[in-house]
Amino acid sequence: MHYDLIIRNGTCVLPWGEARTDIGVRDGRIASLTAGVADDADEVVDAAGLHVLPGLIDPHVHLRDPGDASVESIPTGTRAAALGGVTTVFDMPNTAPAITDAEMLRWKQEYASRESWVDLAMYVGATRANTPHLGEYERFDGVCAIKVFAGSSTGDLMIEDDEGIRRVLEHGHRRVAFHSEDEYRLQARKAMFTPGMPYDMHRVWRDEECAFLGTRRIVALARRTGRPIHILHTSTAEELAWLPDCRDIATVEVLVNHLTQVAPECYETLGALAVMNPPIRDRRHYEASWEAVRNGTVDTIGSDHAPHSLEAKARPWPATPAGLTGVQTLVPVMLDHVNAGRLSLGRMVDLMAAGPARVYGLQAKGRIAMGYDADFTLVDMKARRRITNDWIATPAGWTPFDGMAVTGWPMATIVRGRAVMREDTILGTPSGRLARFAP
């Protein structure tokens, strides 16, 4: 039988376990999991010594487009994703201007379809003005979810009060994603701090109760309205101990940073390059995050890739903008965690492929199975590499993981049967498409 692509000799991570098998691809879809030795293809990839994963997804990125292309854009950010082994990204709406109406959604649909190196989905930002239209906007092609900034935003994108959040939850039916820090507590505590204090004060200001209070309020409103929600970048032991009792209504994301970096050491070594929202916390919360990964509380892992220029990050606290680069380093850092024994490769795939597909209703992605999109991340679990700033494709040009030695590296990124990266080299031209979701 003839295929467009055959991937031979790899150890494939299938939904039911690992298996040595050859995958046949036709018309951008998986056509066979048992391609035979007599079968041929237009292209054959020899994956001997590699693991073939379903295409990995970063469900939480800020590609800053429209905005400042000298920091990030859809072309550069999706190029970074491809270099890092990510086949699909979900892009946040807090751009300039924000993605909050039909005109901007249509602009982004056209632009992303033309300029993205990997497949892309977009969040729509909830505002008080657009709330009545959210049920319409969530059904636009390529829209993964409505995003609510209940804290840590500015202008129209901030909806911090219970009545405003309740109204958002009553318009539409798909899962709503939340930044759940409590804005009232943030503002009440702000006067305790003065400019120029150590960067470690970031986690003191945005303390555990700020996050936990926001999450408790939002879950209560979700239950009142019957609308499913997704708590983004969950960062505290308190939230992660409480959320298993909320599985009827809430799913959970954690970030790679909260699984990798620990306060106060990160602030001592990185300074402003450790400042993000919610903040990196101490070892108690780090250990709780790993326990939540192991016990199944966590549904998805993302990077919250949110680049700023080094010049902006150099401002004294609290003027330094919160946000770190991460889409390109997500896979190598998580593979290193697998090799360190903190989670299995199968669990990583569940969190970074099947999990996002399940939570958001992403269609035909997240599994190596017949009929699914032929998205694959090929990784060398034994490769030893060092993450460095000069590898980073994002124009901001830095990573908080600069100098980190890792074991495990993405060797190829294949999107719908087309290789867009091999051995740290981008191939061809942008051919990403809008991801598809259940209506």
For residue 151, the model assigns a pLDDT of 86
The β-bridge relationship of strands 405-415 and 418-422 is antiparallel
What pLDDT, on the 0 to 100 scale, is given for residue 82?
A: 99
Task: List the domain boundaries for the chain.
Answer: 2-52+370-426, 56-360
Task: Give the burial class of 223: count Cβ atoms within 10 A of its Cβ; 0-12 exposed, 13-18 middle, 19 or more buried.
Answer: middle
Catalytic residue among 304, 336, 375, 380: 304
pLDDT in tens, 30-68: 999 999 999 999 999 999 999 999 999 999 999 999 999
Q: What is the DSSP string of 133-177?
A: GHHHHTTSTTEEEEEEESSS--GGGB--SHHHHHHHHTS-SS-EE
Query: What is the number of alpha carbons within 13 Å of residue 391 lying toward its C-beta?
Result: 23
Fold of 2-52+370-426: Urease, subunit C; domain 1 (2.30.40)
Assign a CATH topology to domain 56-360: TIM Barrel (3.20.20)
pLDDT at res. 114: 97
pLDDT at 153 (0 to 100)? 74
390 is catalytic: no
Length of the chain counted residue by residue? 439
- For 209, the 3-state DSSP assignment is helix
Distance (Å, whole) CA 259 – CA 100: 32
pLDDT at 156: 85
Q: Kindly give, in sequence order, each residue whose CB lies less than 8 Å from that of residue 248, ignoring residues fewer than 6 positions away.
A: 223
* pLDDT for the residue 229: 98
Distance, CA of 181 to CA of 189 (rounded, Å): 13
**Using an 8 Å Cβ cutoff, are 182 and 217 in contact?**
yes
Per residue of the chain (439 residues), give pLDDT as tens: 999 999 999 999 999 999 999 999 999 999 999 999 999 999 999 999 999 999 999 999 999 999 999 999 999 999 999 999 999 999 999 999 999 999 999 999 999 999 999 999 999 999 999 999 999 999 999 999 999 999 877 678 999 999 999 999 999 999 999 999 999 999 999 999 999 999 999 999 999 999 999 999 999 999 999 999 999 999 999 999 999 999 999 999 999 999 999 999 999 999 999 999 999 999 999 999 999 999 999 999 999 999 999 999 999 999 999 999 999 999 999 999 999 999 999 999 999 999 999 999 999 999 999 999 999 999 999 999 999 999 999 999 999 999 999 999 999 999 999 999 999 999 999 999 999 999 9
